[in-house]
Structure 1
Amino acid sequence: MLILFLAVLFFRLPYIIGSEPLVYEVDWLLVGEVLNSGKVLYKDLISPISPLSAWTYMVVDFVFGKSILVLHILSVLLVTYQFSLFNNIMLRNKAYNENSYIPALIYALILFTFYDFFTLSPALISLTFILLVLDNIYLRIENKLQDATILKTGIFMGLAVLFYLPSIFFLLATILSFALLTSLVLRRYLLFLYGFTFPIALVLIYFYWQDGLEALISQWIEFNLFNSVQPVIDLRSILLIVIIPTLVFLVALYKTFSAKRFTNYQVRVQQVMFIMFLAAFGSWWISEKQAPYELLAFVPSVAFFIIHLIFQFRNKMRAELFTLIFSIALIALNYTMFYQYSALHFLGDFNALKSSKSIHHELVKDKSVMILGGSTDIYKSVNRIATDYYDPTLSEIILMEMSEKEQSMALYKDIQKNQPEIILDFTGIFNHHYDKLVFKNMKYKQLSKESYVRN
């Protein structure tokens, strides 16, 4: 495990040392910075981010500042825990006919599918709790699950959702696994659901106390579950990322389900992992950005079946050769897409993931700024985010649902409260109200079509 940890660290070093910030890394740390200024999530900062993830980035910003490097280092440590946990789960539950460290190796390797897997994302944190849930499902199949463990399983699932809402599909997968593959009594189902709702209820109580419960429901739950997604990169780019593991996974799936030498328990384990694969599909489908890092939900199930493929090689030399070629291909593809001047990089839309310097950089630098529309990474050089309307997509939806009078009042109240020195309006909403007397009295001078400066 130590050797594997060092290998993961070594192969990630080029990215850790020489990478440019990704747009969502900047976004997460900006959210943390704003929360550290005393604002309440959802009430004073409009964002669809999950509450526990937001508070995690708040702690990171408080301790380390807006450090992208810290996100990468914490990711390495969390990934090390995950592949160790995954390996222990597979060995303890006898999921394979052989005991080895191959599960840890393949799990760590699948995490090299794309370079944005290397950061501390909400999906990565949530995946830790999904693995803990998975372990308890296997215990239930063996009838080793006690009431306390059922309760813990529900709590783990609740924490997974509080870090990353699309993980809600794994709740359905867990209940389905219990229903189809075990004989769980009604009392234990209720105990599991009680454990699931307990951490969520605590968070809801906190936001009710902060007078932000309605905002939490509309911004976190309704927006993430019911609004159409806006993919951050196109479908061709996603296909380039997943082409190698997907092809190997399909072969592994066929070879695993067509083999006849598994015990009934191992077959049930395989069925659970396939249900988890379907849950990962649902999770990615409703994810806010359908960004590459949100494919992390597939890692346990894809790794599980590829490991089965490796163990089915009768000749160990062939198994080792396959593993070596697969490893080189996956890591080489990752590096090829990471280095921007490679031919493969230009086949995809990967520049959209990078945080770039805005043409408004000099205008907003070290100022208090309000931005409507645009991109949140424009805020990275400002002195202070001077608006509640932080997330561009969600904020525009909220403002456009208002009547013209409500819109005018909301903007006036926000500007009075936060006192921005610069307003950048990429939506035209502020521009629409700019000629009204109440905004004229605020003494903002229009510099260009979208920029305004306070005299």
Structure 2
Amino acid sequence: MSSIYYWVLKAPMIQPELIWMLAGERLASGFHMYKDVVDDTGPLSAGVYWIIHLVFGKNLFIYKFIAGIVILFQVAYINSLFIQYKSFEENTYIPAAVMIVLFHLSFDFLTISPALMGSTFIVLALGQLFSQTVLQKEGSDSVLLVGVFGGIATCFHFPLVIFLPFLIVAGIAVSGFSFNQFVLSLIGYFLPIVFCGLYYFWMDALPEFIFEYFFATRIIDIYSHVGFMDVVVLFALPILLALFGYFVGAWFKLITVNQQKQRQLIVIFLVFAISSIFLTNRSTPYQWIILIPALTYFISQIFIYLTHAKALNVLAVVFFIGVPLVGYSWLAYQKNSGNLRSYEVKYQEKHKITAGKRILVLGDDIAYYKEASLATSYLNSKLSNRILKDFDDFADMASVYQEFLTERPEVIIDQESAFENLIKRIPLLENLYQKSGEDVYLLR
């Protein structure tokens, strides 16, 4: 199914993928996230991109390959979870098949995004909650792991911070955490975040880490790569099937007390998963990937509990053929209508001016980076504007001038006139660069 996206529909590289590659490349050059790379990518996600670049370089295929491994792990883990804790009466691989199909709903699910990596640890935390529900453990290991996995997920992808209240509500209301277990879970949750904070404190970048990762992503403009209603249309079929699956399970099957607790966990999980979407600052389908475990649980109930043969056959066709077909059709339509212009990296003739050079792009058209490398720390243009346009802060202006003087980007693409205004404020920069074209500055 994945091959149709890439070989038939020619799914494009997306802008976030290029951002992640550039961050990994700069970290591999000896720089530090947030201090030397202005962006809101999670610290652990940035670490993964750093390792990928060290080993494989700028390689889009590796992003897809590693994502495939992570997806298979999630599928195997969720299916084994349902079997181990008797979520359904039968030991079945239907949830695995359902989950694989759901991962092919959108082409950008199939890349190693922070959302995919973070959701993996949320799934692991969910597994620990399942163990508390079914086995009623008195030990503290699973309680601690619930928090640790939740904290790690937050360090991969900030919107997953919404699962802190999920762990609290689910732990107390469903899994029956005692006060001591609740406190232990909270300690486990904050451990990974504190360790990340300590690392950036040692790197003299703690304020940048706190601002760029925890706060700036909520106050800068949202990147509307894909319209919200376009994503809702994409998810309409699986959400409708999940609702139908919920009613099938509620009406046609008597469940045990443990299965009832598991259903409550999944319902609460789904509510918080939907809430996390509203914390994202990039409007894209892959931000919705966290919904997949809950959708898998409810849709699986259709094929496990429904006994009417004709209805079951129709629903099987609708799901196993309809869901991937919706994804393929959605991508084809978005490409043909030009709606992906602000999402895809469309490399054209004008972008070749930067091939093989160290450059800086101040604007949204980052395709100039596809065959080039980032110079200076200003990767995220919206976050960088707080520094580059802060003309009243002499410390910021001195820092900006020093960075341009030290790194000397060979080409600057000034799409928002930020550098033009900067030259007026720091005339010494005019000695370094000459204007060539409407928004291009070349190193003298």
Shorter-chain TM range is over 0.9
Name which of structure 1's ranges 365-374 and 393-402 shifts more when overlaid on structure 2.
393-402
Q: Deviation per CA, 1:222-242: give whole Å up to 9, x if none.
A: 123454533211123213311
Matches within 5 A, 1:45-60: 45-60=37-52
Name which of structure 1's ranges 251-260 and 294-303 shifts more when overlaid on structure 2.
251-260
Across the two proteins, how many residue pairs are aligned to each other? 441
Measure the CA separation in 2 of the matches of 1:286 and 1:244.
24
Kept in 1, the 8 Å contact 2:411–2:442? The answer is: yes
Q: Secondary structure at the match of 2:434?
A: strand
Measure the CA separation in 2 of the matches of 1:233 and 1:390.
21
- Residue 192 of structure 1 is matched in structure 2 by 185
Kept in 2, the 8 Å contact 1:375–1:392? The answer is: no
Q: State the 1:248 CA deviation.
A: 1.4
- Residue 214 of structure 1 is matched in structure 2 by 207
Counterparts in 2 of 1:88 and 1:145: CA distance versus 1, 3 Å: farther
Match of 2:104 among 112, 116, 122: 112
- Residue 436 of structure 2 is matched in structure 1 by 447
- Residue 364 of structure 1 is matched in structure 2 by 354
Name the aligned partner's letter for residue 147 of structure 2. G
Q: What is the alpha-carbon root mean square deviation over aligned residues?
A: 2.2
Kept in 2, the 8 Å contact 1:237–1:348? The answer is: no
- Residue 371 of structure 2 is matched in structure 1 by 381
- Residue 7 of structure 1 is matched in structure 2 by none
Name the aligned partner's letter for residue 327 of structure 1. F
Measure the CA separation in 2 of the matches of 1:145 and 1:127.
27
- Residue 391 of structure 1 is matched in structure 2 by 380
Measure the CA separation in 2 of the matches of 1:324 and 1:368.
51
Counterparts in 2 of 1:348 and 1:112: CA distance versus 1, 3 Å: farther
- Residue 197 of structure 2 is matched in structure 1 by 204
Measure the CA separation in 2 of the matches of 1:16 and 1:302.
25
Corresponding position: 1:433 with 2:425: no
Q: State the 1:182 CA deviation.
A: 3.1
Match of 2:325 among 332, 335, 341: 332
Name the aligned partner's letter for residue 182 of structure 1. S
Counterparts in 2 of 1:144 and 1:287: CA distance versus 1, 3 Å: same
Kept in 1, the 8 Å contact 2:223–2:283? The answer is: yes
Q: Deviation per CA, 1:297-353: give whole Å up to 9, x if none.
A: 100111111112222311356434422331111112222233x4xx57546823433
Matches within 5 A, 1:407-418: 408-418=397-407
TM-score normalised by the chain length of structure 2? 0.93
Kept in 2, the 8 Å contact 1:87–1:101? The answer is: yes
Measure the CA separation in 2 of the matches of 1:256 and 1:88.
20
Q: State the 1:440 CA deviation.
A: 5.2
Measure the CA separation in 1 of the matches of 2:211 and 2:348.
30
Kept in 1, the 8 Å contact 2:14–2:344? The answer is: yes
Matches within 5 A, 1:105-254: 105-142=97-134, 143-144=136-137, 146-227=139-220, 229-254=222-247
Name the aligned partner's letter for residue 368 of structure 2. I
Match of 1:304 among 288, 297, 303: 297
Q: State the 1:39 CA deviation.
A: 0.8
Gap runs ≥5 in structure 1: 1-10
Name which of structure 1's ranges 71-80 and 347-356 shifts more when overlaid on structure 2.
347-356
Measure the CA separation in 2 of the matches of 1:346 and 1:452.
33
Q: Secondary structure at the match of 2:211?
A: helix
Q: Secondary structure at the match of 1:452?
A: strand
Name the aligned partner's letter for residue 418 of structure 2. I
Kept in 2, the 8 Å contact 1:33–1:61? The answer is: yes
Q: Deviation per CA, 1:11-66: give whole Å up to 9, x if none.
A: 21233555432221111111111110111100011000001101101111111111
Corresponding position: 1:265 with 2:261: no
Corresponding position: 1:12 with 2:5: no
Measure the CA separation in 2 of the matches of 1:400 and 1:153.
43
Kept in 1, the 8 Å contact 2:378–2:384? The answer is: yes
Gap runs ≥5 in structure 2: none
Name the aligned partner's letter for residue 271 of structure 2. L
Kept in 2, the 8 Å contact 1:103–1:303? The answer is: yes
Name the aligned partner's letter for residue 113 of structure 1. L
Kept in 1, the 8 Å contact 2:388–2:397? The answer is: no
- Residue 26 of structure 1 is matched in structure 2 by 18
Q: Secondary structure at the match of 1:381?
A: coil
Q: State the 1:255 CA deviation.
A: 3.4
Corresponding position: 1:102 with 2:91: no
Measure the CA separation in 2 of the matches of 1:46 and 1:437.
21
Measure the CA separation in 2 of the matches of 1:328 and 1:226.
40
Counterparts in 2 of 1:402 and 1:250: CA distance versus 1, 3 Å: farther
- Percent sequence identity over aligned pairs: 23
Kept in 2, the 8 Å contact 1:16–1:72? The answer is: no
Measure the CA separation in 2 of the matches of 1:19 and 1:32.
22
TM-score normalised by the chain length of structure 1? 0.91
